[in-house]
């Protein structure tokens, strides 16, 4: 009797897990669908003077123009970023807005063979006012293991993750919880590799169907087993 109860318990846990995975994929698919719709929506470039009337949340995935100055001597290299089979880094530089707030700017991808070269001169007006264009998004930290920044002894800092909290601690200044991805062709822009959606909503919904399908099969086999044992 005890053995049978254990089997039933394991069966129910497995069924619940399959259903949860299917529901999670549906949730992810709905979120990606919203992102896809937001990025496809035609919007005008939001100018600096309009920012006071808009919240940052309303600017996500919209083309934005920001005015301020680069803090190019305090940049970050996001390690382990690949592009077309080549390894490199994504260069992130804080940008101080005219109101004093700091936002991290993703300048783009740089191959490993170019890391020994000086890349900051690509930025214009380093010590004066600058206007930059790009797309706003709010990154998620995700799962991390250990410290994000692997070396705090020199600039640019090297980081394993896009961790705005760690970047703010290194800068000893608060950062907005958003990133501006420089538009292609902008002054200071490197190779743009960022994509708002890595896995499409269609794939998430497809995985959801697979998990729910497995749950149905699991349920059928469980019903057959229970009938035989009755």
Domain ranges of the chain: 2-35+204-229, 44-182
HSE of 177 in the Cβ direction (CA atoms, 13 Å)? Answer: 7
Residue-level pLDDT at 118: 47
134 - beta bridge partners? 64, 182
pLDDT band of 59, cuts 50, 70, 90: confident
pLDDT band of 104, cuts 50, 70, 90: very high
Triad 131, 115, 113: Cα angle to 5°: 125
Poorest-confidence range of 50-59, 74-83, 96-105, 191-200?
50-59
Span between the terminal Cα atoms of the chain, in Å: 12
**pTM of the complete model:** 0.68
What is the per-residue pLDDT across 147-184, written as a single tens digit (0 to 9) for each?
888 877 788 888 998 889 999 999 999 998 889 999 88
pLDDT band of 4, cuts 50, 70, 90: confident
pLDDT band of 116, cuts 50, 70, 90: low
Q: State the average pLDDT over residues 120-134.
A: 61
What is the per-residue pLDDT across 64-93, written as a single tens digit (0 to 9) for each?
888 888 888 888 998 888 888 888 889 999
Alpha helices by DSSP H, listed for the chain, are 2-40, 164-171, 201-229
Residue-level pLDDT at 43: 56
Give percent of the chain with pLDDT exceeding 90.
10
Residue-level pLDDT at 94: 92
Give Cα separations from 54 to 49, 140, 159 (angstroms).
10, 22, 32
């Amino acid at each position: 009797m005890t053995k049978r109860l254990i089997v039933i318990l394991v069966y129910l846990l497995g069924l619940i897990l399959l259903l949860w995975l299917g529901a999670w994929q549906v949730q992810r698919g709905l979120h990606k669908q919203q992102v896809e719709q937001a990025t496809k929506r035609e919007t005008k470039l939001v100018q600096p003077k309009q920012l006071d009337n808009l919240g940052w949340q309303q600017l996500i995935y919209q083309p934005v123009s920001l005015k301020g100055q680069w803090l190019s001597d305090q940049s970050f290299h996001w390690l382990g970023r690949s592009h077309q089979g080549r390894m490199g880094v994504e260069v992130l530089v804080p940008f101080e807005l005219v109101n004093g707030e700091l936002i991290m700017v993703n300048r783009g991808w740089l191959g490993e063979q170019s890391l020994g070269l000086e890349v900051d001169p690509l930025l214009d007006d380093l010590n004066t006012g600058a206007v930059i264009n790009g797309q706003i998004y709010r990154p998620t930290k995700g799962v991390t293991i250990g410290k994000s920044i692997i070396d705090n002894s020199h600039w640019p800092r090297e980081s394993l993750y896009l961790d705005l909290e760690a970047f703010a601690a290194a800068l000893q200044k608060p950062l907005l919880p958003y990133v501006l991805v420089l538009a292609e062709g902008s002054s200071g822009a490197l190779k743009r590799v960022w994509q708002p959606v890595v896995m499409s909503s269609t794939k998430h919904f497809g995985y959801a169907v697979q998990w729910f399908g497995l749950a149905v099969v699991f349920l059928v086999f469980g019903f057959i087993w229970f009938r035989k044992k009755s």
